[in-house]
Structure 1
Amino acid sequence: MSDEQESHALERIEPSRAMRTYTIEGMDCSSCALTIENHLKMNTAVKQVSVHFTSGKMTIEHDNSVEEVIQAVAQAGYKAVPAGSVGRSREATKNRSENNAVVIAGVLLVCGFLGSHAGVQSMLVNALYGIAIVIGGYKPARSAYYAARSRSLDMNVLMTAAVIGAAAIGEWLEGATVVWLFALGNMLQARSIEKTRDSIRNLIDLAPAEADIRSGSQLLRKPVEEIRIGEMMVVKPGNKIPLDGTVVAGQSSVNQAPITGESIPVDKLPGDPVYAGTINEEGLLEIQATKLAQDTTLAKIVHLVEEAQEKKAPTEAIVDKFARVYTPIVFLLALAVMIFPPIIGFGAWSAWFYKGLELLVVACPCALVISTPVAIVAAIGNAARNGVLIKGGAFLELAGKVSAIAFDKTGTLTEGKPMVSQVIPSEGSDAELLAIAYGLEEYSTHPIAKSVVQYAKERGIAPARGEQFRNLPGKGVGAIIHGQLYYAGSMTLFQELRASLGGLGEQIRALQQEGNTIVIVGTVDRMLGVIAVADRIRAASVAAISGLRREGIREVIMLTGDNEGTAKKIAALTGVTRSGSELLPENKASVIRQLQEEGHTVAMVGDGINDAPALATADVGIAMGGAGTDTAIETADIVLMADNLEKLPHTMRLSRTAMRIIKQNIAFSLMIKAAALILIFPEILTLWIAVISDTGAALVVILNSMRLLKIKN
């Protein structure tokens, strides 16, 4: 036996506790998940288990082997496959056989119905109905058996009991019709649910399975799972980028829409980062892999979206609690209706038995149970496709209730990159002022110093050579140039030097009121002039804030540590309704709390790091630029993968629409159930109408939720 075979054998024999994910095949109704959960909870080796109908996934912590878990799920009537190894062709074959069963049962039902009206013997007609019941009802009956063994009172149990009861009192046509409508409804539900699950499968399929790797002078084809960090990938025009990496050679435009939702391709040069699943549009690129296949940004997105779809929203939890109480109550009521009225002589046994069967069919609130999770799956899938990560139904619900949004200024509403806006010499020329400033700021790492240096470089100005450089923290810099001690710094620095600003004082104050940061250049005795530096507003900020106001956001607040003049200028240009200036991180959190005390549900938009207190205090924390930082992806409730705000109005609209659809689904489901219950006793409802009210309502709820997949940015 080889070492590998021995290790596999030991894995089968010696179980170890692990949290694993499985895909469940054959789970085509909302009650299936509870049956599997209940069955596995009876197994002492299972520590915790959660089955999610909408995503088709099961997460389970167990002490026994994978094979034993698969066998336990099989005993519940379903098939478990370790996540990532599902055979789609096998699933397609299974679906075809189930579809064929529905068609054959339907044909037999029609033949029996036509035969009964053509004078065919009732025994033969009932035989056709009986065969239709067996063919169409085999799968629900099998699921009912396992559900009963697992002590689950699901729709399969109730429907099977109703069909057996109908046959027992001679209602063969009713029984066959109920079976066929139930099977048809489940088939349509399964198809519709698959479309919502495909929103995640499509994400997974974004990354190619193989890549071209440069090895010396050769190109080798290699599975992405085998590529190591540091290997060189060659991506041809039109191909997808296999892994996250850094461009080493070549230049091209890369379509990053699959990751960030950006509609315009981004130019990539050597040194720029690229992401798995994005598309190289033009030139040949050589890319050095920086992450393994399981650690790429795309892999994290898929993992987070799958997790998000499995997290129950508050509304979903409330509905589940209601359903767990409602179903046994109606089931007991059905038994009471079958037994007590005939006992006390109030009508015939057959009539009340039939009413009890109708109550059994109405007892399972399928449409109500799936009204929330299907909508959440569809909304989260849509958001992910548009470059927005929503980390769960709870955050989707909260986002739908947001009435106030607070923005960090630097790096969020603005680009976070200060740029020279004005050069004002008091004597001499712009060139002389910039040459001295360049010479002073050349060795500084401060962002404002860098912006001055960059501005001078772009204009072809050479730096004045200096010596004896000194750094004055928080104030500026100094150096000896041309035998004199020059300074470049703030108003505070020159006031401490007791330098005369002359006529520059008023100009400086005016520039500061307009939102500029001021760099004064000169000596103690001579002012060369002033350089005004300002942070540029993002192109998408104004449109995003306008879009948020259209979506019903009442308050848009800007929070910044900058001075009041800068805050007022940015506020006026972007259209925010309030602004707070000179705020420390803890002060920003206080502003959030104040908004909450005013009755607002508050979202905070920041970079996910510097604004941590405010993001944590807000009802919903929204981080920008998730594609470039793991911290943003891990800490925020919602992540805008692109480094701009253009997707924020879409996110708010999607959340609000999702909440509206969830309310519609719940109201519709309850109305249908109430109507069905009311119509039983006037003898208007029949078994087959009861089935339509249940499976039909579930299908309507699914189709209504699927509208969320079509909402566009």
Structure 2
Amino acid sequence: MDIRETRYRVTGMDCAACAAKVETAVSRLAGVERVSVSATAGSMRIGHAADATLLPAMKTQLGKLGYGVFPADGEKLGTKGRGRAHDRDHDHDRGQADIHAHAAGDGQGAWWGKRKGMLTIGCGVALGLAYGIGRLYPPIEWWAFLAALSVGLLPVANRALAAALAGTPFSIETLMTVAAVGAVIIGAAEEAAAVVFLFLVGELLEGVAAGRARAGIQNLASLVPKTAYVERGGAVEEVPAESLSLGAVILVRPGDRIAADGEIVEGDGAIDEAPVTGESVPVRKKAGDGVFAGTINTDAVLRVKVTAAAADNTIARVVKLVEEAQESKAPTERFIDRFSKVYTPGLLALGALVAVLPPLVAGAGWSEWIYKGLAILLIGCPCALVISTPAAIAAALSAGARRGLLIKGGAVLEALSSIDAMALDKTGTLTEGKPKVTDIVAIGRGEANVLSMAAALETGSSHPLALAILDRAKADRVPVPPASVAFALGGRGVAGKIGGKEVFLGSSAAAAERIALSADQLQRIAAFNDEGKSVAVLIAAGEPAAIIAMRDEPRADAQSGLAALRDAGVEPVMLTGDNKRTAAAIAKGLGLPVHAEMLPQDKQRIVRDLQSSGRKVAKVGDGINDAPALAAADVGIAMGGGADVALETADAAVLHGRVGDLAALIELSRRALSNIHQNIAVALGLKAVFLVTTIAGVTGLWPAILADTGATVLVTANAMRMLAWRPHAVRD
């Protein structure tokens, strides 16, 4: 049978219990093969028969439970055996429209204008009126509280019945309905009305918290301006940002947000990247440098060539990947889900035993023990417990994404906390990925003069070493004269005339064929080679003029980033396909053990060897040759804007290429796990305390529901603290 997968948005879900009800209800519909629901992402994926028409039936079924459902744009995601890359292709089609649909679908606006808010307010007003009527006319007090109770209880009972008919008989609404009806039967209508009101307040707070968690990542999408200024035919025209095509040139004025990922083609200015990367200091960018959508141009007019469509810009990709990550469950969350399925019916049984055993066995008063049994039902509401893990995970994923740390799900977030070894690629991970001029040894001339001649010969070349020389000349602001009759000598260098003098720039071996180099000069060249540097010799008018050394240098934060990893108990090691001499030179400077001249399968083997020694291994890389090792590691981390296959294979990504962000990933994971453990302790601890005090007769219905609502508020507030997380290096 042809199985298709469709993605939907579901509104009104606050916690894992909501997701479980939705999943159970939808799984019972004809044509549905599998269902996966995420309350934190507000989404649902359904595997179904290709010819099944599900939306009308789902709207009816979920509407009874109090949820809304609508398809995400570009809903068809594939057929049997859908892979991650295929999923991404279709999410690409979904684009920005789906991002904004998500926000709209979740019902943006004040809480009091939504259905739950209005019901809570209505119940509160009815309860207040009941208290007033009871004071003014006591004979009808009981009836007044019964009327107030009905305002809140009837919708709750209706949802409980709908959930039972849809396959979830032991829902939170069922516990509340049984407790409230039981309280009325034993004459506690006032307490029943107050308990239902407090239950609605707790639900409302859950909804506000869930919305805030989703908004944490959705706010990123709003960073991209709605319009952009495009240059066409010499005129500037304001157009919708989502309509920008690849290659279009946009004008970005001082103070404007950049409307698309792109490359500066004209201008030199400071870019405030804090909204996207968390970088506190504006970064100086010039022609040829890349910029992110949503960042702010602070001080100069820039012309930027668009390099990514709206659906593919950095922010859109982050939002989509985090949404997908929120749809996957962490091991702790899966355990809590399984536990709650046994916990709720077990709690009903416990409440029944407490209510009937003492009167039957010991002759105790029925009213007193039924009251205690009902209180136990309220104490046991699993709201705080089931929200404890997904709320913290959603907040942590959002906090990381805002700082360029992408984690593809709660399972990866948990796995990162146990990493104790990290295998890092060299080129593009520990180093910048392009050579730089490190040393200029001028011979009989000034440094600026020899750099000027070298740059003149290399003008127009795209060779990495040539670009290194041109970049150094630009950085040092040396004049670059025109070179005449310049031509390349294959594998040897480049020659030409500058100011009428013949000039040659090439390898030391090629230079030695043209002129005799002194022993001191040969010693300098050998020393540079031992440091893993490429050496070029400049000859002018038949005499040696300079020795220029170049190397792909470590990133600026490589030393501090590796130190932060060691401080976190993670031992780094370098794996590279580069030659042993260059690898050893870089590794020595960074204080790293190194494995050089590695093929992709060799890198994978080293990762396996580390794992077999009992280590939990993360592999960090940015290229196609890193993909096998990324897949083999306990956690694969893609570095910077690496190859698509690396990003697809990896479990996490450090979008902005900072080595220090690797330690930040570990820190975020451990902070999130600590937060989850705190939440579970609060949720279960409060329940245990009130369970004992209720059986002992110290507390009753009011404190019972306050304990549940209070635990939910505490757990949610604690989880939301993760939204304000900043890496340790940033805080300092």
Partner of 1:555: 571
Q: Is the 8 A contact 2:15 2:386 kept in 1?
A: no
Work out which of the residue numbers 686, 699, 702 in structure 2 matches 1:688.
702
Deviations along 1:109-136, one digit per CA (max 9) or x if unpaired, are 6547x73xx9x53x42212321221223
Letter in 2 for 1:93: G
2:113 is aligned with 1:127: no
Q: 1:659 to 1:268 in 2, by over 3 A?
A: same
Q: Secondary structure at the match of 1:20?
A: strand
Q: Is the 8 A contact 1:29 1:186 kept in 2?
A: no
Q: Secondary structure at the match of 1:207?
A: coil
Letter in 1 for 2:572: V
Q: Secondary structure at the match of 2:318?
A: helix
Q: Secondary structure at the match of 2:225?
A: coil
Q: How far did residue 73 of structure 1 move?
A: 1.9
Work out which of the residue numbers 640, 644, 648 in structure 2 matches 1:625.
640
Once the two structures are superposed, the pairs formed by residues 109-258 of structure 1 within 5 Å of their partners are 110-111=131-132, 115=135, 121=138, 123-152=139-168, 153-214=170-231, 216=233, 220-247=237-264, 251-258=268-275
Work out which of the residue numbers 414, 421, 443 in structure 1 matches 2:438.
421
Q: Is the 8 A contact 2:626 2:646 kept in 1?
A: no
Letter in 2 for 1:658: A
Once the two structures are superposed, the pairs formed by residues 641-660 of structure 1 within 5 Å of their partners are 641-660=655-674
Q: 1:647 to 1:64 in 2, by over 3 A?
A: same
Partner of 2:119: 98
Partner of 1:51: 37
Partner of 1:4: none
Q: How far did residue 64 of structure 1 move?
A: 1.4
Q: How far did residue 508 of structure 1 move?
A: 4.3
Partner of 1:511: 528
Q: Secondary structure at the match of 1:359?
A: helix
2:416 is aligned with 1:399: yes
Q: 1:243 to 1:702 in 2, by over 3 A?
A: same
Q: 1:72 to 1:246 in 2, by over 3 A?
A: farther
Q: How far did residue 607 of structure 1 move?
A: 1.8
Q: 1:389 to 1:149 in 2, by over 3 A?
A: same
Letter in 2 for 1:130: L
Q: How far did residue 189 of structure 1 move?
A: 2.5
Q: Is the 8 A contact 1:361 1:687 kept in 2?
A: yes
Once the two structures are superposed, the pairs formed by residues 20-99 of structure 1 within 5 Å of their partners are 20-25=7-12, 27-61=13-47, 63-64=52-53, 66-82=55-71, 84=101, 85-86=104-105, 87-89=107-109, 93-94=113-114, 95-99=116-120
Partner of 2:80: none
Q: Is the 8 A contact 2:443 2:546 kept in 1?
A: yes
Give % identity: 38
Q: How far did residue 191 of structure 1 move?
A: 2.2
Q: Is the 8 A contact 1:102 1:184 kept in 2?
A: no
Letter in 1 for 2:700: T
Deviations along 1:158-181, one digit per CA (max 9) or x if unpaired, are 111110011112122331232122
Q: How far did residue 330 of structure 1 move?
A: 2.3
Q: Is the 8 A contact 1:256 1:265 kept in 2?
A: yes
Q: Secondary structure at the match of 2:417?
A: helix
Q: How far did residue 503 of structure 1 move?
A: 5.7
Greater Cα shift, 284-293 or 478-487: 478-487
Q: Secondary structure at the match of 1:35?
A: helix
Work out which of the residue numbers 476, 486, 490 in structure 2 matches 1:471.
490
Work out which of the residue numbers 242, 255, 260 in structure 1 matches 2:277.
260
2:547 and 2:234 map into 1 onto residues whose CA distance is: 56
2:447 and 2:573 map into 1 onto residues whose CA distance is: 38
Letter in 2 for 1:36: V
Q: How far did residue 381 of structure 1 move?
A: 0.9
Q: How far did residue 642 of structure 1 move?
A: 1.6
Q: Secondary structure at the match of 1:406?
A: strand
Q: Is the 8 A contact 1:261 1:642 kept in 2?
A: no
Q: How far did residue 306 of structure 1 move?
A: 1.1
Letter in 1 for 2:628: P
Deviations along 1:51-105, one digit per CA (max 9) or x if unpaired, are 3223333334553164443333213222234550435349751254134224314
Q: 1:134 to 1:496 in 2, by over 3 A?
A: farther
Q: Secondary structure at the match of 1:407?
A: strand
TM superposition score normalised by structure 2: 0.81
Partner of 2:686: 672
1:640 and 1:303 map into 2 onto residues whose CA distance is: 16
RMSD over equivalenced CA pairs, Å: 4.0
Partner of 1:599: 614
Partner of 1:6: none
2:442 and 2:242 map into 1 onto residues whose CA distance is: 60
Q: 1:404 to 1:445 in 2, by over 3 A?
A: same
Deviations along 1:455-513, one digit per CA (max 9) or x if unpaired, are 689766879988996535xxx5598999999994477x99999x998565654443344
Greater Cα shift, 222-231 or 40-49: 222-231
Greater Cα shift, 266-275 or 375-384: 266-275
Equivalent residue pairs, number: 684
Q: Secondary structure at the match of 1:263?
A: coil
2:723 is aligned with 1:709: yes
Deviations along 1:187-240, one digit per CA (max 9) or x if unpaired, are 222223322222022112112233444555665554444444455544443232
Q: Is the 8 A contact 1:24 1:58 kept in 2?
A: no
Q: Secondary structure at the match of 1:239?
A: coil
Q: Is the 8 A contact 1:514 1:566 kept in 2?
A: yes
Q: Is the 8 A contact 1:371 1:665 kept in 2?
A: yes
Once the two structures are superposed, the pairs formed by residues 263-274 of structure 1 within 5 Å of their partners are 263-269=280-286, 271-274=288-291
Once the two structures are superposed, the pairs formed by residues 336-375 of structure 1 within 5 Å of their partners are 336-339=353-356, 342-343=359-360, 346-375=363-392
TM superposition score normalised by structure 1: 0.83
1:451 and 1:231 map into 2 onto residues whose CA distance is: 28
2:544 and 2:238 map into 1 onto residues whose CA distance is: 65
Q: How far did residue 659 of structure 1 move?
A: 0.9
Q: Is the 8 A contact 1:625 1:639 kept in 2?
A: yes
Partner of 2:79: none
2:427 is aligned with 1:410: yes
Q: Is the 8 A contact 1:246 1:289 kept in 2?
A: yes
Greater Cα shift, 690-699 or 450-459: 450-459
Q: Is the 8 A contact 1:241 1:275 kept in 2?
A: yes
Letter in 1 for 2:430: L
Q: How far did residue 570 of structure 1 move?
A: 3.3
Q: Which runs of 5+ in 2 are unaligned?
A: 73-100
Q: Secondary structure at the match of 2:280?
A: coil
